[in-house]
Amino acid sequence: MEYNPFSLEGKTILVTGASSGIGRGIAVECSKMGAKLVIHGRDLGRLEKTLSMLAGDGHKAIQADLSKQEEIDRLVEQSPTINGIVHSAGIPKICAVKYIDRTLLEEIVNVNELAPILLTTGLLKKRKLQKKSSVVFVASMSGVFIGNIGEASYAATKGAIAGFIKSAALELAAQGTRVNTICPGLVPTSILSLSNEVFTEEQLKDTMYGRYPLKRVGTPEDIANASIYLLSDGSSWVTGINLLIDGGYCLT
Amino acid sequence: MTIDEFVKRFSEEFDETPVEKFAVGTLFKGLDEWGSLTALSIIAMVDEEFEKRITGADIRNSETIEDLYNLVMSK
């Protein structure tokens, strides 16, 4: 067998938000590294598309709306025992600070913050996370390393997750489980076209694309590779970190 | 909301620019204070006052405050 400290052979990995964007990229790349995938998404049609893109067999797809507690509970129930999870489900919101209201805040906090935390606790309670598991949250550079105009509510949820993992990593270290986040810079996916209702492609190019020292924006594969690292035994001494994957954006 | 009321409401989204600078025919993208924050504020203001969603493209396609007003009223 070829030497590969980042292999995911023999591991079962749950990826939320796998029906598109970064989550789909993570699921596909993890399958190429030998993992058995349990993929979650809201849209069954797009989720099945992801399922068809996975390498190898024995994968499973579970549809659920994680904004509802009973659906989180059902996902936990239907999930097999796993060795790792990547929380990739999330929504964007672009809104000036003085126009943030309770409805907007409750919606984004519910999906980006409450759902991944409560899914993690659900998996722990039902003993679905094996010892020496890896728990990975997809956070953002926004709210953890930098700020962007209009992103305060989104940043608040990502910053909350970056804080959550510090305590969770300490507690779960007792069972050898590691808890980390990945903080991506701009990765153009459909989540971005949702926020494009506010920003035009031109504005994005002017204000964002040009600021990446490595002269490009991110791809789902860039983020998937970081998740492979954090899920694999190659990172078995890494816990409680917010791993910045940003093409050098935060340097400038 | 009349066009004059809209111009006044529009001007309230600017902290530095004096209210006299705003008129029906003002080319708002030429104002020193115009930028992504004021653009976001205008989008949110329209949402709050009219319960209508305008986009970055709508703003790009408007030159004067009147253009934007007409666009909002046509939605």
Per-residue pLDDT, A204? 63
Q: Using CA atoms, how far apart are residues A29 and A53, in angstroms rounded to an integer?
A: 10
DSSP string, A63-120: E--TTSHHHHHHHHHH---EEEEEE---------GGG--HHHHHHHHIIIIIHHHHHH
Residue A7 lies in a domain: no
Specify the residue for token string 């994005």. Answer: A204
Q: Which residues of B touch A95 (CB under 8 A)?
A: 40, 44
CATH number reported for the structural domain that contains residue B61 in this entry: 1.10.1200
Residue B52 placed within a domain:
yes
Identity of the amino acid at A136: V
pLDDT at A216 over 80: yes
Domain residues for the domain of B8 are 3-12+25-74
Q: Nearest to residue A181, comparing CAs of A221, A123, A142, A127?
A: A142
Position A245: which residue type?
I
Whether A127 is in a domain gets the answer yes
The pLDDT, as a whole number, for residue A158 is 98
pLDDT higher than threshold 90 for residue A88: yes
Strand partners, A134: A84, A178
User: Which residue of A200, A202, A206 is the best one to mutate when testing the B interface, meaning the one whose CB has the most B CBs within 10 A?
Assistant: A200
Q: Is residue B36 a part of any domain in this protein? A: yes
The residue-averaged pLDDT of A77-102 equals 95
Average pLDDT taken over every residue of chain A: 93
d(CA A21, CA A15): 12
User: Does a structural domain hold residue A1?
Assistant: no
Q: How far does the CA of residue B49 sit from the closest CA of chain A (Å)?
A: 12
Please say if the pLDDT value at position A139 is more than 70: yes
Kindly determine whether residue B40 and residue A203, on different chains, have CB atoms separated by under 8 Å.
Answer: no
**Interface residues from chain B to A (CB-CB < 8 Å):** 36-37, 40-41, 43-45, 47-48, 53, 55-57, 60
In B, minimum Cα distance to A200 occurs at B56
Query: Identity (one letter) of the amino acid at B6?
Result: F
**pLDDT tens, residue by residue, A233-247:** 999 999 999 999 999
* Yes or no, beta carbons of A96 and B47 under 8 Å apart: no
pLDDT mean over A189-204: 60
Please give the tally of structural domains in chain A.
1
CA dihedral (A121, A123, A124, A125) positive or negative: positive
Rounded-to-integer distance, Cα A69 and Cα A74, Å:
9
Q: d(Cα B51, Cα A184) in Å, to the nearest integer?
A: 33
Question: What's the pLDDT tens digit per position in A144-169?
Answer: 999 988 899 999 999 999 999 999 99
**What's the rounded Cα separation, in Å, for the pair A120 and A31?**
22
Query: What is the domain count for chain B?
Result: 1
ipTM over cut 0.95 = no
Measured over the CA atoms of residue A78, residue A238, residue A139 and residue A120, the dihedral's sign is: positive
Quick check: A99 and B53 CB within 8 A? no
Residues of B in contact with A199 (CB under 8 A): 36, 56
Of A98, A149, A198, the CB nearest to B43: A198
In a domain? residue A6: no
* Chain A CB contacts of B58 below 8 Å: none
Q: What are phi and psi of A184, to 5 degrees?
A: -80, 150
Mutate to test the interface with B, among A95, A97, A98, A99 (most CBs of B within 10 A): A99
Whether B19 is in a domain gets the answer no
Report the alpha-carbon distance of residue B26 to residue A20 in Å, rounded.
42
The predicted-structure confidence for A166-193, as pLDDT tens digits, reads as follows 999 999 999 999 999 999 998 877 655 5
**pTM for this predicted structure:** 0.90
Sorting pLDDT into bands at 50, 70 and 90, what band is A207? low
Q: A196 vs B37: CB contact, 8 Å cut-off?
A: no
Distance CA(A240)–CA(A228), nearest Å, equals 16
Reading the block at residue A29, the tokens are 């790349």
Range(s) of the domain holding residue A231: 12-243
pLDDT attached to residue B60: 85
A26 part of a folded domain: yes
Look at residue A217 and tell me whether its pLDDT is greater than 90. Answer: no
Are the Cβ atoms of A197 and B55 closer than 8 angstroms? Answer: yes
Which one of B40, B55, B60 has the shortest CB-CB distance to A150?
A: B40
What is the model's pLDDT at position A7?
A: 97
In a domain? residue B68: yes
Sheet containing strand A12-15, edge to edge, reads: A60-63, A36-41, A12-15, A82-87, A129-138, A178-184, A242-245
Strongest mean pLDDT among A186-190, B48-52, B64-68: B64-68
For the domain that residue A62 is a member of, what is the CATH number? 3.40.50.720
